[in-house]
A and B are shown apart, each in its own frame.
Chain A
Amino acid sequence: MQDDLLPWLSKYAVWIVLLLLLIIAGAVSEAFLRPTYLFNIVRQAAPIGITALGVTLVMILGGVDLSVGAIISLAAVVCAVVMDGQPENIALALAITSLVGTTIGLANGLLIAFNRISPFILTLAMAVAIYGVTLVYSGGTAKGAPSPGFRDALNMRVLDVVPVLALILLALTALVAAVLRYTRFGRNLYLVGSNSEAARLSGLPVRWITVCAYAASGFFAALGGIALLARAGVSSTYAGRGYEFDVLAAVILGGTTFAGGRGGAGGTLAGVFVLLVAFNLVNIAGLSVSAQLILKGLIIIAASAAYQSLRSRE
């Protein structure tokens, strides 16, 4: 009995936590469980959630990407500047922003794949450089303006309930889950993550897979920046600062470990929701940003420890 229970528990733990949190939230405030409010949380979750999907890929591979907060900031600024308040610039802005994010991710991936660098330290350093680039580009102030129509379109509620941003997050999650499950690239990520030496010896192009995963993480972080611009309209230099903590906490909560080889997009999405519902509860309780920071730190530590201990007992 216990042999079956533990793997099951470690797989669905985050969903159980989410359910418990929602029950608590419902008890605290009835309004919390109304569809409009719930989908509003999904909309709020879009920037973190989309970015976390990319980081999930990297972490399944056994890496980590802490430059995503900086990429989100740069992406929001680039997107707003290229748009410049003109509707006809939207497509160009989205294309350029995605390209910028992917390029940074590519640089991360190449540096990590072809050197024995700690991705933790490398992507932290990359974040410093990206913030510098953003500051030079923006002159240190909020710059650019989202085009009219851009924010309206993404925040519009389909059937008066589901915001478009929320739909995009759900669709991208399904896409990443499908890639992980049904494509060779997805399966290879798990193989490299569980044992990169064995993967290399069995002829997998480990470096190529690594580069692709980091490039995808940069791309998703750029989409996260676009989502942030759409949700909040902010394009200041530090708009995405600290998001790497949210993202890491969500991914780890979702069951994708720092050691690699495990996890998935669904868990990450649940992890993002747990974070967001917890933050909303913290807000309702009248606590502030500082409480959220402490909560995030504790979640990162406690969730890692919990999964580690569940796993070792399996």
Chain B
Amino acid sequence: MTFSSWLLERLSRHAVFLVLGMLIATAAILHPEFAAPRNLVNVLIQSAALAFLALGQTLVITCGLIDLSIGHLMGLVTVLISDFMQGESWRTGPAILLALGIGAAGGLVTGLLNNLLRVHPLILTFGMLSVFHGIILAYTESSVGLASPQVIWLANGGIGGVPVSLMLVLGVAAVYAYLLGRTRFGLHIRAVGGGEEGARRAGVPVRRVRLLVYIISGLSAGMAGVILAGRLGTGYPNAGAGFELDSIVAVVLGGTSFAGGQGSIAGTLAAVLALGIISNLLNLMEVSAFVQMIAKGLIIIIAILAYQQRMKQP
């Protein structure tokens, strides 16, 4: 490998940090309000739910799989725990346990089906997306319940100016990064993502690894559901729609290879932040929500195209 190709490979893998830096600079220049501490805190708070989803999705995609069901799984968690809490403080603890339980159970079902049926994960989790959405609408067609003050604080509050949700995200990110980079399980995830057959021959328990990865993805959706309940204050049935796509975009933008085998937790976090800043900037510039949707679709397409470009390099 020559020096220039090494540099190119480094640059492209860490391009998201460069993009993030440029975005922050551009935003600060374009809009003075952007750099105000209150606005920065807002960006972080608004990005938290997506961050949890994207962190789980990073492990899923690194393992060579994909999970389109997490958006509505998160929505399901938000609806159920909001209805359970009814704004009462003492229910906070049980509600969080419930959220993690529902998330893990959802991931378990997806993971078991993935092992049991030979259906492409895109199709399988697309079907699960529809199933979770149906379950939400069977439960309620309008907003239900009320988040407890503690959950609202988790999502919106801060300690000494630092958002609680940011600390939670960073904590979970640290755990996932450790899992992925420093444990045997992480090695197995990367091995399965790099090539199923090779991993199996090397003695990796492929099915168990995949099952665990889907459970972690579900757990992450559970955490995201808690934060979302706190953000919305109530259980809105369609709250999770579209989040699955955003999470995939964040993961791919962050430098995790769509082909599997190589993932970057830090890159995912940077990408989530970049997406949050773009949306915040468009809001500050008073671009209409409709035009923002077009922009979002185009940004996703351009991001995927740019990533494909990266794939072609040696």
Binding site for B on A (CB under 8 A): 111, 115-118, 120-122, 124-133, 135-136, 140, 245, 248, 252, 258-259, 288-301, 304-305, 308-309, 312
A308 with B122: CB separation less than 8 A: no
Which residue in chain B gives the minimum CB-CB distance to A125? B300
Question: Taking each of B128, B249, B290, which has the highest tally of chain A beta carbons within 10 Å of its own beta carbon?
Answer: B290
Extra 6 A-B pairs, beta carbons < 8 Å, given A118-B304, A121-B245, A125-B245: A125-B297, A132-B292, A135-B293, A294-B135, A298-B131, A301-B123
Contact residue among A133, A245, A259, A288 (Cβ-Cβ distance under 8 Å from B130): A245
19 A-B pairs within 8 Å (CB atoms) are namely A111-B305, A115-B308, A116-B311, A126-B301, A128-B245, A128-B293, A129-B298, A132-B293, A132-B297, A136-B288, A140-B290, A252-B123, A291-B134, A292-B134, A294-B138, A297-B128, A300-B126, A304-B119, A304-B123
Docked pose: A118 CA to B311 CA in angstroms:
13
Whether A118 pairs with B258 at a CB distance below 8 angstroms is: yes
* Docked-complex contact A129 and B308, CB < 8 angstroms: no
Shortest A296–chain B CB gap in Å is 5
CB of A300 within 8 A of CB of B127, answer yes
B283-302 vs A, Cβ < 8 Å mask (1 yes, 0 no): 00000111111111110110
Say yes or no: A117 contacts B119, CB within 8 Å: no
Closest residue of chain B to A134, judged by CB? B290
Residue in A115, A296, A301 whose beta carbon sits within 8 Å of that of B124 in the complex: A301
Query: Chain A nearest CB: distance from B46 CB in Å?
Result: 18
Flag whether B248 is at the interface (Cβ < 8 A): yes
Query: Min CB distance, A149 to chain B, in Å?
Result: 32
**Are A290 and B134 also in contact (CB < 8 A) when A125-B297, A131-B293, A300-B123 are?**
yes
Residues of A within 8 A of B177 (CB): none
Contact: B305 with A115, CB < 8 Å? yes
User: Is the CB–CB distance between B301 and A111 below 8 Å?
Assistant: yes
Which residues of chain B are near A259, meaning CB under 8 Å? 120
Q: How far is the CA of A126 from the CA of B297 in the complex (A)?
A: 6
On whether the beta carbons of A117 and B118 are closer than 8 Å, the reply is no
- Identify B301's interface contact among A122, A135, A258, A304, CB under 8 A: A122
Provide the bound-state CA to CA distance between A292 and B134, in Å. Answer: 7
For residue A299, which residues in chain B have a CB less than 8 angstroms away from its CB? 127
Whether, in the assembled complex, B242 has its beta carbon less than 8 Å from a beta carbon of chain A, the answer is: yes
Indicate if the CB atoms of B301 and A125 lie closer than 8 Å.
yes
CA distance A10 to B122 in the complex (A): 22
Q: Separation in Å of the B292 CB from the closest CB of chain A? A: 7
Interface of chain B, helix or strand or loop or mixed?
Answer: helix
Question: Is B113 among interface residues, defined by CB-CB distance under 8 A?
Answer: yes
Q: Are A300 and B130 in contact (CB under 8 A)?
A: yes
Say yes or no: B127 contacts A297, CB within 8 Å: yes
Contact A294 B134 (CB under 8 A): yes
B300-314: which have CB < 8 Å to A? Answer: 300-301, 304-305, 308, 311-312
Among residues of A, the one whose C-beta sits closest to the C-beta of B242 is A128
- A127 and B297: CB pair below 8 A? yes
| Nearest chain A CB to B250 CB, angstrom units | 13
Q: Give every chain A residue within 8 A of B123 (Cβ-Cβ).
A: 252, 258, 300-301, 304
Of the candidates A122, A124, A133, A298, which one forms a contact with B127 in the assembled complex, judged by CB atoms under 8 Å apart? A298
B118 to chain A, nearest CB (A): 5
Do B311 and A301 touch (CB < 8 A)? no
The distance from the CB of B129 to the nearest CB of chain A, in whole angstroms, is 7
Also in contact, A293 and B137, with CB within 8 A (given A248-B126, A301-B123): yes
- The answer on a CB contact under 8 Å between B245 and A301 is no
Please tell me if the beta carbons of B129 and A297 are within 8 angstroms of each other in the complex: yes
| A124 / chain B contacts, CB cutoff of 8 Å | 245
Please, what's the 1-or-0 string for B95-123, where 1 marks a CB less than 8 Å from any CB in chain A?
00000000000000000010001111011
Nearest CB on B from A190, distance (A): 19
Would you call B133 an interface residue if the criterion is a C-beta within 8 Å of the partner chain's C-beta atoms? yes
Chain B residues with Cβ below 8 Å from A140 are: 290
Measured between beta carbons, the chain A residues less than 8 angstroms from B305 are 111, 115, 117
Chain A residues with CB below 8 A from B289, complex form? 135
Known: A128-B245, A305-B119. A290 touches B138 (CB 8 A): yes
Does B117 lie within 8 Å of A135, measured CB to CB? no
Establish whether residues A125 and B304, one from each chain, have CB atoms under 8 Å apart when the complex forms: yes
Residues of A contacting B308 with CB < 8 Å? 115-117
A78 to chain B, nearest CB (A): 16
Check A309–B293 contact: CB distance below 8 A.
no
Residues of the A chain whose Cβ atoms lie less than 8 Å from the Cβ of B122 = 120, 258
Q: What is the CB-to-nearest-CB distance from B115 to chain A, in angstroms, rounded to a whole number?
A: 12
Most buried by A among B113, B134, B137, B288: B134
Shortest distance in angstroms between B207's beta carbon and chain A's nearest beta carbon?
16
Nearest A-chain residue to B300, judged by Cβ: A125
Residues of B within 8 A of A300 (CB): 123, 126-127, 130
Point out which of B132, B242, B301 has the most chain A C-beta atoms below 10 A from its C-beta. B301
Chain B contacts for A290, CB-based, 8 A: 134-138, 141
| Chain B residue with Cβ nearest A127 | B297
